[in-house]
């Protein structure tokens, strides 16, 4: 018996600063219903889906940004999404900013994705591991990317969870560019990786990369899927948000590395693929049979050092 799961990538167009959570949740519910009518059992929404990408602005007093974060999930604004998903019997994955009061009383700011099963139960909340951008105000930039000011990097690493009849993992935006992300999950048998992203087309540190944003987006997710024998779903919040143009091109990638569905717009758009989770074994049991072919005894640098150490 093969295991099929119909998965939707629910790409979003921009969320502007003045848009309320209620307005955004109404858009998410509209896409949830559209995905359900297309047969989807799991709907994946983007990174920071509930708000505009607020790290593009710097505020000296970080508490002035607290309103961009959720303190609980679900909450009053998102409960209608949870209710409608459970009514339809559809699971979903939602990215948002989470403000958590730790046991020590300290506040922690995370960039997270929560995965919810078809019965409404929360499977897991993943915290973003690789936080890109900068820690301090850089006034010479046309827009900020101060994620390293607004979010702590997760100390938890990459878990996977048995859900939706398979083994599911999560990553958020910049995580998708790092091969370690996929391999950590590959070593736990992952079959489906869910990833939301906000990728400005203009990469300020090196504008020569601007024209390659779409290529790099597909390149990393196709490589990660193939090299680990897993499905990958990458979902954008794209379009011109507060004057900053962001990549669309949401994709669903098969364990072969082939793109099986791709968004055509930079607006709210649902794409769907019927994913055969057993297809993963074709790669995991052959060319990427880790137990047979990997050589961890010669990979010590991967975890033993952070930056490159050059030869003398
Ligand atoms: N939200 C992100 O993590 N964006 C980064 C940009 C800054 C490069 C990305 O990897 O797409």
- Residue 195 sits in a domain whose CATH number is 3.60.110.10
- Residue 2 pLDDT more than 80? no
Q: Cα separation of 224 and 257, whole Å?
A: 8
The Cβ of residue 103 has, within 10 Å, a number of other Cβ atoms equal to 5
Quick one: pLDDT at residue 159? 98
pLDDT confidence band for 119 (50 / 70 / 90): very high
Establish whether 173 is a catalytic residue. Answer: yes
Question: Averaged over 72-79, what is the pLDDT?
Answer: 98
Does 311 reside within a domain? no
Establish whether 128 is a catalytic residue. Answer: yes
Quick one: pLDDT at residue 81? 98
Tens of pLDDT, residue by residue over 21-60, are 999 999 999 999 999 999 999 999 999 999 999 999 999 9
Pairing of strands 107-116, 122-127: antiparallel
Decide: 145 in ligand 1 pocket, CB within 6 A: yes
Quick one: pLDDT at residue 1? 62
Does 312 reside within a domain? no
pTM of the model: 0.98
Question: Averaged over 231-248, what is the pLDDT?
Answer: 98
Tens of pLDDT, residue by residue over 180-223, are 999 999 999 999 999 999 999 999 999 999 999 999 999 999 99
Tens of pLDDT, residue by residue over 131-188, are 999 999 999 999 999 999 999 999 999 999 999 999 999 999 999 999 999 999 999 9
Quick one: pLDDT at residue 79? 98
Q: Give me the domain span that covers residue 179.
A: 4-304
Residue nearest to atom 11 of ligand 1 (CA): 199
Quick one: pLDDT at residue 45? 99
Percent of the chain predicted with pLDDT > 70: 100
Catalytic residue among 41, 47, 70, 191: 47
Catalytic residue among 41, 93, 127, 128: 128
Does 192 reside within a domain? yes
Identify whether the C-beta of residue 49 lies closer than 8 Å to the C-beta of residue 10. Answer: no
Does 310 reside within a domain? no
Domain count along the chain: 1
Q: Cα separation of 160 and 189, whole Å?
A: 8
How many angstroms does the Cα of residue 131 sit away from the middle of ligand 1? Answer: 8
- How many residues in total does the chain contain? 312
């Amino acid at each position: 018996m093969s295991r099929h799961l119909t998965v939707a990538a629910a790409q979003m167009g921009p969320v502007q600063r003045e848009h309320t959570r209620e307005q955004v949740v109404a858009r998410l519910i509209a896409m949830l219903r559209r995905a359900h009518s297309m047969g989807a059992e799991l709907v994946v929404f983007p990174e920071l889906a509930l708000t505009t990408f607020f790290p593009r602005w710097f505020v000296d007093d970080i508490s002035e940004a607290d309103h961009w974060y959720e303190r609980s999930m679900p909450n009053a604004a998102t409960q209608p999404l949870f209710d409608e998903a459970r009514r339809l019997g559809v699971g979903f994955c939602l990215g948002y900013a989470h403000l958590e009061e730790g046991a020590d009383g300290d506040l922690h700011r995370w960039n997270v994705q929560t995965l919810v099963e078809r019965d409404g139960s929360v499977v897991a909340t993943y915290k973003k591991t690789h936080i890109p951008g900068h820690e301090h105000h850089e006034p010479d930039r046309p827009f900020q990317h101060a994620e390293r000011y607004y979010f702590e990097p997760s100390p938890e690493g990459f878990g996977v969870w048995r859900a939706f009849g398979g083994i599911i993992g999560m990553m958020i935006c910049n995580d998708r560019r790092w091969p370690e992300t996929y391999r950590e999950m590959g070593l736990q048998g992952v079959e489906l990786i869910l990833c939301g992203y906000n990728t400005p087309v203009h990469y300020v540190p090196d504008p020569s990369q601007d024209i390659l944003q779409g290529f790099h987006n597909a390149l990393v997710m196709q490589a990660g899927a193939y090299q680990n024998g897993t499905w990958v779903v990458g979902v954008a919040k794209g379009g011109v948000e507060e004057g900053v143009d962001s990549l669309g091109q949401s994709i669903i990638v098969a364990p072969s590395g082939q793109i099986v569905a791709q968004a055509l717009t930079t607006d709210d758009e649902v794409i769907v693929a019927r994913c055969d989770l057993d297809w993963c074994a074709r790669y995991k049991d052959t060319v990427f049979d880790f137990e047979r072919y990997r050589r961890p005894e010669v990979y010590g640098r991967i975890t033993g050092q952070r930056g490159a150490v050059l030869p003398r």
